[in-house]
Amino acid sequence: MRVIEHIPEMQTWSETEQRAGRRIVLVPTMGALHEGHLSLVREGKKSGARLVVSLFINPAQFAPNEDLAAYPSDFEGDRDLLEKEKVDVLFHPTSTEIYPAGYQTYVEVEKLAPLLCGEFRPGHFRGVVTVVAKLFNIVRPQAAVFGAKDYQQLQLIRRMTRDLNFDIEIVGCPTVRDKDGLALSSRNRYLSREERAAALSLSRSLKRAESMVEEGERESRRIIHAVRAEIQREPLARIDYARICDPETLVEVAKIQGGGAVLALAVRVGGTRLIDNTMLKT
């Protein structure tokens, strides 16, 4: 596996591969890799493509009061995992490589970005979408793989890719969970034992919602009531939001109808903010 730190080297590598007629797939990450990330890598490898994993803790998506400085990182551990997965390139730029002095251009996804997490993390998605657009230009992949765990992010990236005419297939992968249901996340490393137990209320509440829908419930209000009650049983958990939304526009819906709806949660457990979601299908 080649480790590339500089943009021109990354672009030259991609150009050579494209000229040889090979397909390139990109998996963007912020490192501290777990099985969720590795599921994206395996999906990307399926087509026999050349696989690039980027590892970049993107300062533009953290507000000054957020956990940028504390964000978990383990470069050697990540490199070993990716080597074992037979990744072709680990792209690992510095912040100044991506945002050199004088940098001032950002991508805004007007309607989707301020919703859900955007309401609680203003500017977050502007940072996410900007870095993904830059990675698309740097790596020039034919496809890029993202996790449905970050459902809003996946929808924003699909929108941006269409809106900016990137000729890139966006592949979404299902959320990978621990055996007890907790969605894998780099931030789970912050949780104490008690907090981890309280964090299980997220997946439990999603399951509760799924069974209500299976039993015929269609009213968002009633489902949300049950979801909130499940989470609020944990004194360590504080809900940022629990909403049922249209799967594409992310606008809240009062009823679950034909195309289904996404139930999205953001919950603080102790000092750690966790997100999870499920698709409610009729």
Could you tell me which stretch among 46-54, 96-104, 182-190, 224-232 binds ligand AMP (CB under 6 A)? 182-190
30 touching ligand AMP, by CB under 6 A: yes
Among 185, 203, 205, 277, binds ligand AMP (CB under 6 A): 185
CB of 175 to ligand AMP, least distance (A): 4
Closest CB to ligand AMP: residue number:
147
Q: Which is nearer to ligand AMP, 126 or 149 (CB)?
A: 149
In Å, what is the CA distance from 151 to each residue of 180, 212, 215, 248?
21, 21, 25, 10
What angle do the packed helices 124-139 and 151-163 form, to 10 degrees? 50
- From residue 36 to residue 65, the character string flagging contacts with ligand AMP as x (rule: CB under 6 A) and all else as - is xx-xx-------------------------
Say how far apart CA 226 and CA 48 lie, in whole Å.
45
Q: Which is nearer to ligand AMP, 67 or 217 (CB)?
A: 67
Q: Which is nearer to ligand AMP, 39 or 155 (CB)?
A: 39
Say how far apart CA 111 and CA 99 lie, in whole Å.
25
Q: At 83, list the tokens.
A: 């080597």
In Å, what is the CA distance from 85 to each residue of 40, 82, 162?
11, 5, 30
The yes-or-no answer on residue 37 being catalytic is yes
CB of 185 to ligand AMP, least distance (A): 5
Q: At 233, list the tokens.
A: 């049983």
CB of 228 to ligand AMP, least distance (A): 23
Residue 97 exposed, middle or buried by CB count within 10 Å (0-12, 13-18, 19+)? middle
Residue whose structure tokens are 């993107």: 58
Do 146 and 170 form a contact (C-beta atoms < 8 A)? Answer: yes
Q: Which is nearer to ligand AMP, 37 or 45 (CB)?
A: 37
Determine how many CB atoms are found less than 10 A away from the CB of residue 171.
Answer: 17
| Residue tagged active-site, from 37, 92, 124, 225 | 37
Among 149, 159, 243, 273, binds ligand AMP (CB under 6 A): 149
Among 132, 173, 223, 256, binds ligand AMP (CB under 6 A): 173
Among 14, 186, 188, 277, binds ligand AMP (CB under 6 A): 186
Radius of gyration, alpha carbons of the chain: 19
What are the backbone dihedrals phi and psi of residue 239, each rounded to the nearest 5 degrees, phi first? -80, 125
* Binding footprint of ligand AMP on the chain (CB under 6 A): 29-30, 36-37, 39-40, 146-147, 149-150, 173, 175-176, 183-186
Residues designated as active site: 37
